[in-house]
Amino acid sequence: MPEGLNFRIVFAIAAGAIGSSFQHGYNTGVLNAPQELIEDWISSCNNSTVGPGPDNKCMDKTTVTLIWSWVVAIFCIGGMMGGSMVGFVSGWLGRKGGLLANNVLVIIATVLMGLSKTAGSFQMLIAGRLIIGINSGLNAGLAPMYLSEIAPTSMRGAVGTVYQLIITISILLSQILGMKNVLGTESGWPLLLSLTIIPAIFQVLTLPFCPESPKFLLLDKDDEMAANKALTWLRSTIEVHDEMDEMKQEQESMKLVPKVTLKEMLTNVALRKPLIIANMMMLAQQLSGINAAIFFSTAIFKSAGLTEEDSQSATLGMGAMNVAMTFVSLILIEKAGRKTLMLAGLVGMLAMTIMLLVSLLVFDEGSSGTSWVSYLAIVAVILFVVGFATGPGSIPWFFVTELFTQSGRPIASSIAVAVNWSANFLVGLCFSPLQLAVGPYVFIIFIVLQIAFIIYVSFVVPETKNRTVEEVTAQFRK
Dist. CA 415–CA 183, nearest whole Å: 37
- How many of the other CB atoms lie within 10 Å of CB of 263? 8
pLDDT of residue 303: 62
Q: Which of 55, 30, 32, 27 is nearest to 43 (CA)?
A: 55
Identify whether residues 201 and 279 lie together within a single domain: no
**Residue 54 DSSP symbol:** T
d(CA 194, CA 192): 6
Would the pTM count as exceeding 0.85?
yes
Residue 279 lies in a domain: yes
Number of other CB atoms surrounding residue 181 within 10 Å: 6
* Domain residue limits at 171: 1-210
Cα–Cα distance for residue pair 50/52, rounded to 1 Å: 7
Q: Quick one: pLDDT at residue 457?
A: 95
H helices of 151-217, where?
Answer: 156-177, 189-194, 197-206, 214-215
Task: List the one residue out of 154, 140, 145 whose CA is nearest residue 1.
Answer: 154
Q: Based on the fold, state whether residues 90 and 174 are members of the same structural domain.
A: yes
Q: For residue 60, is it left (φ>0), alpha (ψ between -120 and 50) or beta?
A: beta
Same domain? 273 vs 345: yes
User: 117-143 pLDDT, tens per residue?
Assistant: 999 899 999 999 999 999 999 999 999
Question: What is the predicted pLDDT for the residue at 251?
Answer: 82
pLDDT digits 0-9 by tens, 187-200: 899 999 999 999 99
- 170, 303: one domain: no
CATH code, domain carrying 384 = 1.20.1250.20
pLDDT at 49: 47
Question: Are residue 265 and residue 199 in the same domain, yes or no?
Answer: no
- In order along its 478 residues, the chain shows pLDDT tens digits of 566 688 999 999 999 999 899 999 999 888 877 888 898 898 885 555 444 444 545 677 788 888 888 898 899 999 999 999 999 999 899 999 999 999 999 999 999 999 999 998 999 999 999 999 999 999 999 999 999 999 988 888 888 889 989 999 998 899 889 888 888 888 899 999 999 999 999 999 999 999 999 999 998 898 999 999 999 999 988 888 988 998 888 888 777 766 788 888 888 888 899 999 999 999 999 998 887 776 666 666 666 666 767 777 777 888 888 898 888 888 888 788 899 999 999 999 999 999 888 887 886 555 444 567 777 877 888 889 889 988 898 899 888 888 988 888 889 999 999 999 999 888 877 877 787 788 788 889 999 999 999 999 999 999 888 887 778 888 887 7
- The rounded distance, in Å, linking the Cα atoms of 26 and 170 is 5
Do 121 and 6 lie in a common domain?
yes
What is the pLDDT, as a whole number, of residue 415?
93
Domain count, the chain: 2
Q: What is the pLDDT of residue 51?
A: 45
Q: pLDDT value at position 198?
A: 95
Residues 391 and 286 in one domain: yes
> Are residues 122 and 271 located together in one domain of the fold?
no
Q: Tell me, yes or no, whether 200 and 318 share the same domain.
A: no
